[in-house]
Amino acid sequence: MAIVQAGAAILRRPARVVDERAIGSAELAGLVAALHAGLAVTPGVGLAAPQIGVGWRVVLVQDPAVFQARVSPERLAQLEREPVEPYILINPEIEPVGPERRSFFEGCLSVDGYCALVDRAWGVRVRWTDETGRRHEAVRRGWHARILQHEVDHLNGILYVDRMYSRTFMTNDNYGAWADRPLDVIRATFGVP
């Protein structure tokens, strides 16, 4: 399954709210299966329905331990990154929890091959419905909160490039030289606040 790339109009339009009557439908089950299949083919930590060409407010979020095995324990602690089992959020709503923010590099399956430094809330409160119709509310912090903000942005027609420090925009190949450097060094080198 191909991931929709930047330049496609669907990535710039707000997605439609999923009607409660659609929960449990074959159409929604097919979308959930397609999101799982999309991340099986092109591994990532999240995928929003618009990224596979469907304009519904549905996302799949995950951060499997196998992804984190490639990252040093020190870097995982810095990112505040812990394993997240895959789960579906329908009509998610998020709001920041507190004023604290963090800047880290982000990439996107729909902006393939690039990444940039993005500032986001450190913690968010998220409310959503799962594919069985059950409502949830939780506070997520660290990398998990970042994933949620990135994916909900997709539902609002926003890409990370709209929020990035543009001076840090780089290819994934060049990112390797900056991945483990201290944030103050990155900011000073690229001239970002």
Measured CA to CA, the distance from residue 52 to residue 42 in angstroms comes to: 12
Give the pLDDT confidence score for residue 193 in this predicted structure: 87
Task: Assess whether pLDDT exceeds 80 at residue 116.
Answer: yes
Q: Is 100 a catalytic residue?
A: no
Q: Both tokens of residue 31?
A: 């979308």
1-44 pLDDT per residue, tens: 789 999 999 999 999 999 999 999 999 999 999 999 999 999 99
55-84 pLDDT per residue, tens: 999 999 999 999 999 888 998 999 999 999
- What is the Cα 85 distance to its own chain's centre? 14
H or E stretch covering 73: helix 73-79
Average pLDDT estimate for 170-182: 93
Q: Identify the band that residue 95 occupies on the pLDDT scale cut at 50, 70 and 90.
A: very high
Average pLDDT estimate for 97-111: 97
Cα-trace Rg, the chain:
16
108, 160 contact by CB (below 8 A):
yes
Nearest to 151 by CA among 41, 64, 71, 58: 58
Give the pLDDT confidence score for residue 112 in this predicted structure: 96
Nearest to 123 by CA among 143, 152, 150: 143
Give the pLDDT confidence score for residue 180 in this predicted structure: 84
Percent of the chain clearing pLDDT 70 (strictly above): 100
What does pLDDT average to over the chain?
A: 96
Q: Identify the band that residue 151 occupies on the pLDDT scale cut at 50, 70 and 90.
A: very high
179-188 pLDDT per residue, tens: 889 999 999 9
Average pLDDT estimate for 94-122: 97
